């Protein structure tokens, strides 16, 4: 191992007990405000910067594979001995380590006084250019209610990649610049949080304590439990169950997929994704794909549209007046929580019957219960809200991305033919049988990436400042909102020629024919420490569904594809999409 040059002036600080350092996975630590990741390299312990230089993902959430530390976000690999990136010029900053007794100490350099940075012309959101608005309401009446993201994207074309939009009385900074957007997202959760408005518009406090809405120490406590339950090892074990749910979707479409009027494929995919989530995360085979009558989706599907409607309402009418739709939704939320209570009771019974599972939980819900037993701060509400978070996020985001993918396939028969050819070559019998086969579907992966570039289910992300701070050219006060337009950033990336054209090939071009793009410009799962923990599961589900379609169906439009519209109800879905899935 190459010995790093050790600075003379060091502060040797305790990082963690040696016994807490796992041999088979990275371990995170924070000392004196510095985030670190610690790994074992043979008999040595190495300490590196805690975040990937690519998009700031926490490296402690990655894995150790083939002598490398692998970032879970985009699979960048860093040599355990040196911190050098395999296949790239990037290198993690290393820190000297020594062991004293049972304690791991890390040496942090005593920083010399840094030269003063050149002055930057800072502007508050109110000082940015932007559209005129009305007193009290700002620009609220200029919003397209079903496509708020398009309203903000149109502003970029007129006002540039940094402008002002008054979301009520206080101005909001709208960002369509890749570097500034990533700086903001990497600064979470300390400098920025999700919009507090989400808590004020929530229905009966829906999911405000789960990992999606949690902030500060609550988030830090929950995040590792969720991430570890969705890691590669758990997905590999779950793969046979995923194939069982996939077979149900195939049977459904074999029977009714080619109906003359077409299928609401988004609704079918919602059933598929919630079945997958319930099986993986809670150990519950709810089988809504084959269930008749009332299913949990009927209640889940009411939540996001209501939250979106309230977010854009000029006045918080629901505080004083409950409309019939509000009362109906409250009934649905109560039914959802009753279902969740059943999941929790079943998980408790299984843990009691099989105590060994407390050492190696089978799923997320068991992991949450074990964590709650060890930490009294981890209360029953946090458990229930994390279950609901998984149901909502696992259902909506993946199903909508798949629906948009089928929208593109219906308009591009040549892409379907390429998928079918790849499946025939990679899967001789036309069916996935092994977890490792998913990595062989390079063209399907390219189709998914291109769909997420053009039709991301989260085309914008609104955060707010936790305190007064300066970042990039912005001077923010506590509570100031920043809207990050992730799709506008991706479409402006200069390496993506003809950016509005659906072209999966752009993700496969190699050598001189491929223009390298700025990875900070493409962030469909977010960026920084709060990167979506379900990224790997979502990609696995999408590849499995597209492989099944490539082997067994042709996708044909049953509507005018040009009339399909983007509808933003917290996530972006295709409105008016109907397709026929014709058996091959």
| Lowest-confidence segment of 50-64, 460-474, 506-520, 560-574 by average pLDDT | 506-520
Average pLDDT over residues 303-327: 81
Q: Which helix (H) or strand (E) holds 41?
A: strand 34-41
Residues 582, 258: contact at Cβ < 8 Å?
A: yes
Q: What is the mean pLDDT of residues 498-519?
A: 77
Q: Does 209 or 148 have the greater pLDDT score?
A: 148
Q: Could you identify the residue written with the tokens 């040797």?
A: 12
- Say yes or no to pLDDT of 3 above 50: no
**Is 545 or 220 the better-scoring residue by pLDDT?**
545
Residue in this structure with the two tokens 């936790």, named with its chain if needed: 466
Architecture of domain 10-109: 3-layer Sandwich (2.102)
At residue 2 the predicted structure's pLDDT band, cuts being 50, 70 and 90, is very low
Query: What is the third-level CATH fold of 216-583?
Result: Cytochrome p450 (1.10.630)
Lowest mean per-residue pLDDT among 189-193, 205-209, 397-401, 483-487? 205-209
C-alpha distances in angstroms, 146 versus 265, 313, 567? 20, 12, 5
- Say what the pLDDT of residue 413 is: 97
Q: List the structure tokens of 498.
A: 């003809």
Instruction: Give the CA dihedral 542, 578, 151, 134, nearest 10 degrees.
Output: -130
369 has pLDDT over 50: yes
pLDDT confidence bin for 114, thresholds 50/70/90: very low
In angstroms, rounded to a whole number, what is the distance separating the alpha carbons of residues 201 and 99? 51
pLDDT for res 427? 92
Q: What is the mean predicted confidence (pLDDT) over 341-348?
A: 92
Alpha helices in 510-576, H assignment, sequence order? 535-552
Could you tell me the two tokens for 255? 């029977």
The dihedral of CA 333, 337, 342, 343: what is its sign?
A: positive
**Dist CA 197 CA 310 (whole Å):** 10
> Where are the chain's structural domains?
10-109, 216-583
DSSP 576: T
Integer Cα distance of 557 and 380 in angstroms? 46
pLDDT in tens, 421-476: 999 999 988 899 999 899 899 999 999 999 999 999 999 999 999 999 999 999 99
pTM given for the model: 0.86
Mean pLDDT in the chain? 88
pLDDT band, very low/low/confident/very high, at 512 (cuts 50, 70, 90): very low
pLDDT of residue 513: 46
Say what the pLDDT of residue 124 is.
Answer: 95
- Residue 193: the pLDDT is 92
Question: Is the omega angle on the peptide bond into residue 234 within 30 degrees of 0, that is, cis?
Answer: no
Please report which confidence band the pLDDT of residue 8 belongs to, taking 50, 70 and 90 as the band edges: low
d(CA 483, CA 486): 9
pLDDT of residue 117: 52
Give the number of other CB atoms < 10 A from CB of residue 500: 8
């Amino acid at each position: 191992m190459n010995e790093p040059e050790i600075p003379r002036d060091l502060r040797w600080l305790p990082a963690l007990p040696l016994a807490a350092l796992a041999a088979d996975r990275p371990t995170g630590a924070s000392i004196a405000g510095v985030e670190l990741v610690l790994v074992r390299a043979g008999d040595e312990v190495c300490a590196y910067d805690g975040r990937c230089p690519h998009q700031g993902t926490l490296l402690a959430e990655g894995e150790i594979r083939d002598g490398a530390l692998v970032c879970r976000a985009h699979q960048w690999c860093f040599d355990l001995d040196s911190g050098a990136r395999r296949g790239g010029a990037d290198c993690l900053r290393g820190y000297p380590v020594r062991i004293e007794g049972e304690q791991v100490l890390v040496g942090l350099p005593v920083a010399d006084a840094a030269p003063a940075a050149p002055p930057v012309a800072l502007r508050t959101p109110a000082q940015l250019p932007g559209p005129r608005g009305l007193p009290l309401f700002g620009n609220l009446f200029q919003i397209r209610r079903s496509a708020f993201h398009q309203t903000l994207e149109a502003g970029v074309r007129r006002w540039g990649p940094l402008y002002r939009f008054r979301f009520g009385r206080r101005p909001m900074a709208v960002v369509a610049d890749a570097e500034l957007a990533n700086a903001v997202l990497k600064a979470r959760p300390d400098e920025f949080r999700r919009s507090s408005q989400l808590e004020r518009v929530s229905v009966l406090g829906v999911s405000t304590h789960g990992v999606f809405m949690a902030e500060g120490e609550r988030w830090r406590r929950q995040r590792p439990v969720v991430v570890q339950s969705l890691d590669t090892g758990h997905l590999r074990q779950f793969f046979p169950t995923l194939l069982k749910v996939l077979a149900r979707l195939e049977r459904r479409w074999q029977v009714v997929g080619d109906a003359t009027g077409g299928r609401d494929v988004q609704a079918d995919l919602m059933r598929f994704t919630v079945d997958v989530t319930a099986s993986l995360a809670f150990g519950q085979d709810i089988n809504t794909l084959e269930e008749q009558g009332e299913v949990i989706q009927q209640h889940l599907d009411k939540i996001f549209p209501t939250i979106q409607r309230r977010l854009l309402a000029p006045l918080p009418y629901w505080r004083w007046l409950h409309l019939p739709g509000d009362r109906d939704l409250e009934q649905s939320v109560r039914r959802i929580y009753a279902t969740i209570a059943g999941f929790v009771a079943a998980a408790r019974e299984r843990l009691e019957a099989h105590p060994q599972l407390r050492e190696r939980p089978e799923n997320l819900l068991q992991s949450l219960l074990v964590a709650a037993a060890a930490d009294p701060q981890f209360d029953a509400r946090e458990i229930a809200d994390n279950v609901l978070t998984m149901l909502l996020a696992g259902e909506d985001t993946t199903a909508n991305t798949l629906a948009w993918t089928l929208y593109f396939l219906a308009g591009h028969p040549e892409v379907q033919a390429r998928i079918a050819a790849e499946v025939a070559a990679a899967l001789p019998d036309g069916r996935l049988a092994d977890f490792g086969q998913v990595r062989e579907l390079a063209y399907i992966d390219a189709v998914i990436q291109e769909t997420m570039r053009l039709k991301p289910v989260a085309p914008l992300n609104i955060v707010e400042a936790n305190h007064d701070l300066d970042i990039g050219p912005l001077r923010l006060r506590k509570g100031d909102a920043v809207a990050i337009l992730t799709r506008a950033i991706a479409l402006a990336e200069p390496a993506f020629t003809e950016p509005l054209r659906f072209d999966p090939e752009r993700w496969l071009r190699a050598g001189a024919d491929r223009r390298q793009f700025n990875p900070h410009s493409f962030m469909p799962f977010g960026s920084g420490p709060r990167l979506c923990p379900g990224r790997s599961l979502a990609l696995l589900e999408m590849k499995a569904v597209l492989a099944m379609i490539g082997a067994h169906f042709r996708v044909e439009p049953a509507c005018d594809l040009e009339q399909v519209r983007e509808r933003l109800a917290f996530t972006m879905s295709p409105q008016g999409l109907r397709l026929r899935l014709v058996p091959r």
